[in-house]
Structure 1
């Protein structure tokens, strides 16, 4: 699956990428919600480059485990 099709699987809004906060506000997708030990909840957002990179890692892990790869699976979990 190419970059464009992968990115279409996510909902994009302006935000700060968890890996690239210095970029400031860029299009980001919600990729995870965490619950820090200090309390509350924190939404984790990623930019387009990070989402594509994460999907590449997910695909490699699925293939290595002999499992089917479903792009976008768990997007915004």
Structure 2
């Protein structure tokens, strides 16, 4: 699967990348929801470069563990 095909698996909207907040509003995808100890819910969003990087890491981890890699689908789902 190429870069564009992987990016098409995500829903993109304007937001702030959790790794690059200084870039301001850019095209981002929701990658995780966390529940901080202080309460509430926080959605984590990532820019295209970060999503591609995270998918590369997920692919390497899956291959290293002998598991199938399914882009756009978090482990365990």
Structure 2 segments unaligned to the other structure (5+ residues): none
1:1-77 matches, within 5 Å, as 1-74=1-74
Count residues in correspondence: 75
| CA shift for structure 1 position 59 | 0.1
Runs (4+) of structure 1 moved beyond 4 Å? none
Return the structure number with greater relative CO, CA threshold 8 A, min gap 6. Answer: 1
CA RMSD in angstroms comes to 1.1
SS of corresponding position for 2:51? helix
Length-normalised TM-score, structure 1: 0.95
Q: Residues of 1 paired with 2:13 and 2:43: CA distance?
A: 13
When normalised by structure 2's length, the TM-score is 0.95
Structure 1 gaps, min length 5: none
